[in-house]
Amino acid sequence: MKRLLVALVLFLAAPVAAEEIEIKGEVAQGGFAIVRAEPGTRAIFEGREMRISADGRFPIAFGRDAGRNATLELIFPDGRRVRRALDVKPRKFDIQRIDGLPEAMVTPDPVLLERIRAENARIAEARRIDGAEPFYLQGFVWPATGRISGIYGSQRILNGQARQPHYGIDIAVPTGTPVVAVADAVVTFADPDIYFTGGTLILDHGSGVSSTYSHLSRIDVTVGQRVRQGEAVAASGATGRATGPHLDWRLNLFDIRIDPILVLPPLPAASR
Ligand SMILES: [Zn+2]
């Protein structure tokens, strides 16, 4: 699989001198990066004030369909206020067209829509949490290892109707395989029966960074629990609308969906 290298990028554009901030990560569609500024700086990314760690770091991210420019405003401790336009690198994503499907498979049963909306609202609420502890600064480990059966960004067009792109990474593992916390976290959502995603777990990694595990056969943690990176938190399965056993794992910055492959280390060779 093609991997984009995570690079240290120093932006030289005016008006902020290059040494005043450092951006480590991918300024690209689906990308995630950590910005470092002087401690005590305030940062407003795309209109949202970001929580900054004691050592001056905060996360930024860019959705699959992010435009070419993103705005970062910084207010330094000495009161200087500067605005930076970030040049977001575009990417290409797969589009798969499938025609001739029975309509019932394409458009969900209307009686289910209320349930789906209510579940989506609860998930969105968990993703709005702006946790105080910057666990995301640890970096991330694989939640499970196995064959990659689905990637971020691909979109299906069913009978000419665009469906939501796929925002997770799918890892094909048998039902019952332990899955681990990708970084230290607080559990913010745990439900064994969500319509689309089945057994669903959301971990808060701080400052709006959350990750979501779907299609779980078992959840071993409860909301409010503190978990450690690498700790088993659940078991994979095929619950919800899954075609077979796998783990779907996603990473968000609030409602911005990040490409997991850009933040994970290279997959261990034994599991490729
Ligand atoms: Zn998936």
Distance 211 CA to ligand 1 centre (A): 13
Q: Over the chain, what HEC string results?
A: CCCCCCCEECCCCCCCCHHHCEEEECCECCCEEEEECCCCCEEEECCEEECCCCCCEEEEECCCCCCCEEEEEEECCCCCEEEEEEECECCCCCEEEECCCCHHHHCCCHHHHHHHHHHHHHHHHHHCCCCCCCHHHHCCCCCCCCEEEECCCCEEEECCEECCCCCCEEEECCCCCEEECCCCEEEEEEEEEECCCEEEEEEECCCCEEEEEEEECEECCCCCCEECCCCEEEECECCCCCCCCEEEEEEEECCEEECHHHCCCCCCHHHC
Domain presence at residue 262: yes
Per residue in 220-258, pLDDT (tens digit) is 999 999 999 999 999 999 999 888 999 999 999 999 999
Residues 59-76 have a mean pLDDT of 97
Better pLDDT: 164 or 118: 118
Residue 46 and residue 79 in one domain: yes
Residue 100 and residue 83 in one domain: no
Residue 168 and residue 47 in one domain: no
The two structure tokens encoding residue 24: 């480590």
Confidence band for 29, pLDDT divided at 50, 70 and 90: very high
The confidence score (pLDDT) of residue 268 equals 73
**What is the C-alpha to C-alpha distance for residues 13 and 84, in angstroms, rounded to an integer?**
8
Q: Please check the confidence at residue 4 and state whether its pLDDT lies above 70.
A: no
Distance 62 CA to ligand 1 centre (A): 19
Please give the residue range of the domain that contains residue 38.
8-87
Query: Which of 42, 61, 87 is where one domain is finished?
Result: 87
Distance 154 CA to ligand 1 centre (A): 10
Confidence band for 163, pLDDT divided at 50, 70 and 90: confident
Distance 227 CA to ligand 1 centre (A): 24
Distance 168 CA to ligand 1 centre (A): 5
Residue 220 and residue 104 in one domain: yes
Domain presence at residue 234: yes
54 by Cβ neighbours in 10 Å (0-12 / 13-18 / 19+) ranks as: exposed
Residues 47-75 have a mean pLDDT of 97
The confidence score (pLDDT) of residue 101 equals 75
Q: Please check the confidence at residue 80 and state whether its pLDDT lies above 60.
A: yes
Beta carbons of 210 and 167 less than 8 angstroms apart: no
Query: Which of 87, 121, 153 is where one domain is finished?
Result: 87
CATH number, domain containing residue 70? 2.60.40
Q: Into how many domains does the chain fold?
A: 2
Residue 56 and residue 179 in one domain: no
Domain presence at residue 71: yes
Residues 49-55 have a mean pLDDT of 97
Residue 178 and residue 125 in one domain: yes
Residue 67 and residue 196 in one domain: no
Residue 69 and residue 103 in one domain: no
Beta carbons of 9 and 36 less than 8 angstroms apart: no
The confidence score (pLDDT) of residue 100 equals 82
Q: How far is CA 41 from CA 11, 13, 129, in A?
A: 18, 19, 21
Distance 150 CA to ligand 1 centre (A): 6
Residue 83 and residue 118 in one domain: no
Domain presence at residue 51: yes
Residue 17 and residue 99 in one domain: no
Percentage of residues in the chain with pLDDT exceeding 70? 90
Residue 173 and residue 253 in one domain: yes
Distance 24 CA to ligand 1 centre (A): 27
The confidence score (pLDDT) of residue 115 equals 93
Domain presence at residue 2: no
Domain presence at residue 61: yes
The confidence score (pLDDT) of residue 9 equals 40
Distance 44 CA to ligand 1 centre (A): 32
Q: Please check the confidence at residue 18 and state whether its pLDDT lies above 80.
A: no
The confidence score (pLDDT) of residue 19 equals 53
Q: Please check the confidence at residue 10 and state whether its pLDDT lies above 80.
A: no
Query: Which of 67, 87, 107 is where one domain is finished?
Result: 87
CATH number, domain containing residue 190? 2.70.70.10
Distance 79 CA to ligand 1 centre (A): 45
Sheet containing strand 48-50, edge to edge, reads: 48-50, 42-45, 69-75, 81-87
Residue 78 and residue 153 in one domain: no
Per residue in 169-222, pLDDT (tens digit) is 999 999 999 999 999 999 999 999 999 999 999 999 999 999 999 999 999 999
Distance 167 CA to ligand 1 centre (A): 7
Distance 195 CA to ligand 1 centre (A): 14
